[in-house]
Amino acid sequence: MGIYDRDYYRQAEPAFSVRAPGTIIGRLILINVVVFLANGLLTSGTNLITDLLAAHSSTIFEPWMWWQFLSYGFAHDPSNWGHILFNMLGLWFLGRDIELTYGRKEFLWLYLVMLVVGSLSWSIVNVLRGVPAGVDFTLVGASGAVVGIVVLFALHFPRRTLLLFFVLPVPAWLVGVLLVAGDLLGTFGTGRHDVAYSVHLAGAAFAFLYYRFGWNLGRLVEGRFSWVNFKRRPKLRIHDPPSEDAELSNQVDRILEKIHREGEGSLTRKERRTLENASREYQRRRQ
């Protein structure tokens, strides 16, 4: 198998296609925008779609509605264009590098898990605080997962320059710190009442732990459910490569692991040449 056929390297494909989104980022944005527009155009101001997808303060007590802990992340407040606009801008500008770092499949798992972690945290906070009788709190928006993406970006690329408020150039680590600090202040009663700060903090906390401990959600899920496989496995073929091939393979594995940890931009010229040479050699053997 060539280098460019491996999961590590396939993540370096073009970031977006106008005809059809070529990345998970593009598809997530498309789904969010379609749901937002459909709610406004098809439900005549009743917000039927948003209300259906939203997580409610009662959802945690209704197991048959637990799918809302995920679906809420694809619905946004139809009366607030800024809600979806800033979420999607943050996902687009910062999420692309994170998807390139982890790959499409792992990025999707990460995004979805952060949505669920955020909504579960929100529900638990509501239970602990106590919801007044007859009051139904609702949760919509991708903010929890987007905040997690921002934190991961700041951890991976702390010195990358970002435009704060699209004007002030600051390092990425400062944006991450300011974002988390703002959510902490909001949690203690100094923020807006219509912002679920606990969701933001849950996404940020999960992102930090994910980075700190080097988790891989795709491997975890595949390992736990690998027994659910009804396809006939191919016969095992044993190949004993020469020592030079083994050394080249070891070098490639080390380089790909570095891409997984630090991104493609961290490679040296020598490492890039090694990948190119190995790719040509693997392709020659396949032919």
141: how many CB neighbours lie within 10 A of its CB? Answer: 25
Residue 108, CA distances (Å) to 61, 187, 188, 251 in order: 27, 28, 32, 28
Tokens 């009663």, residue located: 189
Q: Cβ(76)–Cβ(141) under 8 Å? A: yes
Catalytic residue among 71, 143, 198, 279: 143
Q: Cβ(114)–Cβ(207) under 8 Å? A: yes
Beta strands in 50-113 (DSSP E): 55-56
Q: Cβ(186)–Cβ(195) under 8 Å? A: yes
Residue 254, CA distances (Å) to 8, 185, 194, 271 in order: 12, 42, 47, 10
Active site annotation includes 193: no
Active site annotation includes 143: yes
Taking the mean position of all CA atoms in its chain, how far away is CA 78? 23
Nearest residue to 211 via CA among 158, 253, 254? 158
Q: How many helices (H) and strands (E) does the chain have?
A: 12, 4
Catalytic residue among 76, 83, 156, 200: 200
Report which DSSP code applies to 77. Answer: -
28: how many CB neighbours lie within 10 A of its CB? Answer: 24
Residue 79, CA distances (Å) to 9, 37, 130, 178 in order: 41, 11, 27, 27
Q: Annotated active-site positions, please?
A: 143, 200
